[in-house]
Chains A and B, each alone.
Chain A
Amino acid sequence: MRIGYYPGCSLLGSSREFDESVRALAGALGLELVQVPDWNCCGASSAHVLDHKLSLALPARILAQAEAAGLEEILAPCAACYNRLASARDALDKDPVLAREMEKVIGRPATHKVRVVNILEVLDRFKDTLPGLLKVPFAHKVACYYGCLLVRPAKVLHFDRAEDPQSMDRLAAAAGAAPLDWNYKTECCGAAFSVTRTDLVARLSGKIVADAVRAGAEAILVACPMCQSNLDMRRTESNAYLGADHQIPVLFITQALGLALGIDANRLGLQRHMVPATFAPAAV
């Protein structure tokens, strides 16, 4: 299978391990990733609050680039990129006038035919082949954390149930994990305030970590760089807020699946985490 690939900035920087684990996993699953040529910033997470047109023009150009490259579908692992691309596509699709205007701005024809998919959607296509490939089942109790960007706004993304998503839980189960029923699946983690309002992030992320621990999770699985860094990188602050010492690791779903497929932890970038993510390999 061949699919367009839009890494976006996070996957080149703060969340390199997401990029690494996606590529490693893709290799194992026989999924060819074709990077969108000469891609640009998607505009998250500031453009859409500053300038509506800009927040559409940036993704519009990416979509046009993908289209020019003959791609029908692009995978945006970063939830923010996914959200921006999908929203822009939807806006252009609904408003031909705006679409023409955007074409002028980006100086490219854009029929916005290219579909935008997130990592969970793509992996879901392998749910039947996955079990067969399992080497080291990821036999751990996990809390699947979706955050906000993957499932909202529902009327644009049409992905999973906005209030009670299940797609990651299904994948985790397929990888041999035991997904838990917990309460903070889609609560806000503080997202882009990670830098500007650490106190706020500490509080919001703290509650999420706390509930995952309460539910008895051994790991939190995520599919969004911002969620990951807030829950992982800001652990010191959130623990301070909670007055606790939670050491529960925060993995990208791709890392969990990678481990289950027997891919080396370093190829999955697990060593990059702030909260150590080491698991006693379970017997096959």
Chain B
Amino acid sequence: MSRIGVFTCHCGENIGATVDCAKVAACTRNVPGVVHSVDYKYMCSDPGQTLIKEAIKEHNLTGVVVAACSPRMHEPTFRAAVAEAGLNPYLCEMANLREHCSWVHGKADATTDKAADLIRVMVEKVKHNEPLHPIKVPVTKRALVLGGGIAGIQAALDIANCGHQVVLVEKSPSIGGHMSQLSETFPTLDCSQCILTPRMVEAARHPNLTLMTYAELEKLEGFIGNFKATIRKKARQLDEKLCTGCGLCTTKCPQKKIPDEFNEGLGRRGAIYVPFPQAVPNKPVIDKANCTFYRSGKCKVCEKVCPTGAIRFDQQDELVTLDIGAIVLATGFKVMRTDKFPEYGYGKYPDVIDGLQFERLASASGPTLGAMQRPSDGKAPETVVFVACSGSRDRSKGVPYCSKICCMYTAKHAMLYKHKMHHGKAYVFYMDIRSSGKDYDEFVRRAIEEDDVTYIRGRVSRIYEEDGRLVVKGADTLMGGEPVEIKADLVVLATAVQAQDGSEELAQKLHVSYDPYHFFAESHPKLKPVETNTAGIFLAGACQAPRDIPETVAQASGAAAKVAALFSRDELTREPQVAVVNRLPAPMFSYCVGCFLCQSACPYQAIEQEEIRGRDGSLLKTLAKVNAGLCQGCGTCVATCRTKAIDIQGFSNEQIFAELMTL
């Protein structure tokens, strides 16, 4: 038989003015199960709390109802007080007499009656409350960062600097990502390599940071604080310990004509290569698809010339399994490629290139060593046309969204060109100029006013070649849609930013949700921008949406802070408001029939399968099982369950039902 104590608070005049607290306290005494009911001026005050604590001991109460303000305000306060008196804190509930009654109704019997009702409801609930205990989940203090671009590097460094272990996994042979390909960066025009490489080196040197380049996530199991990640380390065909990175092999490789990824196909590399001079780690990798030895069984020149005998033709991929506590997704983006632009002849005409290619052309470390030479014949382009929004904000190209960075880098490209070729002519076709960011608009103005880049507001309809030059046909919408034709030597398309290839598969591996364009989805568009729906997995950079460098770095540090906060305790304590599947003795084992229709209702993939097996190992029943580490306690599964096998602690069917039945 429950022994409930009810404590009605006047909250000074706040409640007392409109609700007859004494009367409420009095009539509450007649509610079955209530053994003690008093009213007091300020329950949340020390004397008020003492009142409750003493009553618990004196009347050895089995439950407490504090009729005062909103539980969203003082529930923690009173639960703590109750706990101090030795009663399980979850046996204390609050009736909201202030926000939901005294403040919103005038002084009247009806108001007092309502107050009494609200208390009765809570009394009935408390009768069905169970002692609950916070859920403790151990936390493995090692983070996994997927993607070695600036986002991944920044996140990894920040976490490492908090004194936690970090594993940084990058699928290509070197970290650095797209930022390492850029020539200069807006809005300051400082050299990308110069600001990035120190970070790359720091990442390589950091004692808490383990680099895994040329590696990919194979599989992920577990949940927040307790992930198990399997990483595939692709074979470099190289003993990295022996390799000194002298680069002799790369110079001697007979293969010389392979389009080089780092230079976006504008340069050439060998079959054994280091992606770029500042690569980290500075160790070559053999591109099996193009290596003469793997194709014909002969060659092995690299092996012969290697002074340390580091080449390993027989080396195989290696699988490593790691215990991980938290994950930062920083897999970045890609730009839309040729096949999408027949009208621009991109892919057909060598002198129609994309933004990344232009970065390489402009870069001092690029194939032309920074000299403005167009791909087709190496001539210096006298006229260059830049086409913004190539594919972006264009439903017919499947990209309705704005790629965000193009307005800025197009202005930058035009500037870089003008700085290298003062007499040259630069045109920019654009829809709108979106330059909202610190010093961004000033930057664009500079391109227009100081470097006299001609901006034409309009779309380009077609580009074709005519006697060795590219004819760009467009319209100038500010001149009443006048058709414009420009004969150019080089055309640069600011092609749309898209989700990295394989994002969908990765998202499914990690149970992270993603948007229609395969960018990873944040947990809340405003308030949880770096979290995902899966606890313990965070987002950084352009894998979530198009981002520029400053934003990416900021978000990466944000994600790192979330990881550090998670790692700040050995155990993760969670409110016990979680769903549980009931268990019964054999042969039923549970009301659950294992239809798993609740599984898709759970926003957190918290519902797992549990197989019940007999002594002989035969499968007796398959039940739903809630992973308390993942469950956030929304209860959607509960409303979905036909057999009422699944219920939620703190808001159980019995509790809600009891509340309802008092009305």
Contacts and interface: CB of A to CB of B under 8 A. Distances in A.
A161 B466 contact: no
A214 B464 CA distance: 13
Interface in B328-355: 341-343
A164 B396 contact: no
B464 A183 contact: yes
B396 A154 contact: yes
A53 to B, nearest CB: 26
A204 to B, nearest CB: 11
B576 to A, nearest CB: 52
A55 B471 CA distance: 37
B342 A161 contact: yes
Interface residues of B, number: 9
A164 B464 CA distance: 12
Contacts of B303: none
Nearest to B344: A163
Interface in B302-343: 341-343
Interface centre among A163, A164, A211, A214, by most chain B C-beta atoms within 10 angstroms, is A163
B466 A164 contact: no
Contacts of B654: none
A104 B242 CA distance: 84
A161 B343 CA distance: 10
Contacts of A164: 342-343
Interface string A32-64: 000000000000000000000000000000000
Main secondary structure of the interface of B (DSSP, over half): strand
B238 to A, nearest CB: 44
B117 interface: no
A187 B465 CA distance: 15
Interface string A170-188: 0000000000000100010
Contacts of A155: 396
Contacts of B396: 154-155
A164 B465 CA distance: 14
Interface string B364-399: 000000000000000000000000000000001000
Contacts of B464: 183
Interface in A144-166: 154-155, 161, 163-164
A163 B342 contact: yes
Contacts of B341: 163
A163 B343 contact: yes
Contacts of A154: 396
Interface string A204-219: 0000000100100000
A187 B396 CA distance: 19
Contacts of B466: 183, 211, 214
A54 to B, nearest CB: 28
Nearest to A165: B342
Contacts of A161: 342
Contacts of B342: 161, 163-164
Contacts of A183: 462, 464-466, 471
Nearest to B395: A155
A211 B471 CA distance: 12
Nearest to A153: B396
A187 B343 CA distance: 11
B38 to A, nearest CB: 67
Nearest to A166: B342
Contacts of A211: 466
Contacts of A163: 341-343, 462
Interface in A206-241: 211, 214
A211 B462 CA distance: 14
Contacts of A187: 462
Interface centre among A155, A183, A211, by most chain B C-beta atoms within 10 angstroms, is A183
A161 B342 CA distance: 8
A211 B342 CA distance: 18
A150 to B, nearest CB: 15
A211 B466 CA distance: 9
Interface string A125-159: 00000000000000000000000000000110000
B273 to A, nearest CB: 35
A155 to B, nearest CB: 8
Nearest to A164: B342
A154 B398 CA distance: 13
Interface in A62-96: none
A161 B465 CA distance: 19
Contacts of B343: 163-164
A164 B466 CA distance: 17
A164 B471 CA distance: 16
A161 B397 CA distance: 13
A183 B470 CA distance: 11
A164 B341 CA distance: 9
Interface string B440-471: 00000000000000000000001011100001
A268 B24 CA distance: 102
9 contacts: A155-B396, A161-B342, A163-B341, A163-B343, A164-B342, A183-B464, A183-B465, A183-B471, A211-B466
Given A161-B342, A183-B465, 4 more contacts: A163-B343, A164-B343, A183-B462, A183-B464
Interface of A: 154-155, 161, 163-164, 183, 187, 211, 214
Interface of B: 341-343, 396, 462, 464-466, 471
> 5 closest Cβ contacts across the A-B interface?
A164-B342, A183-B464, A163-B343, A163-B342, A161-B342
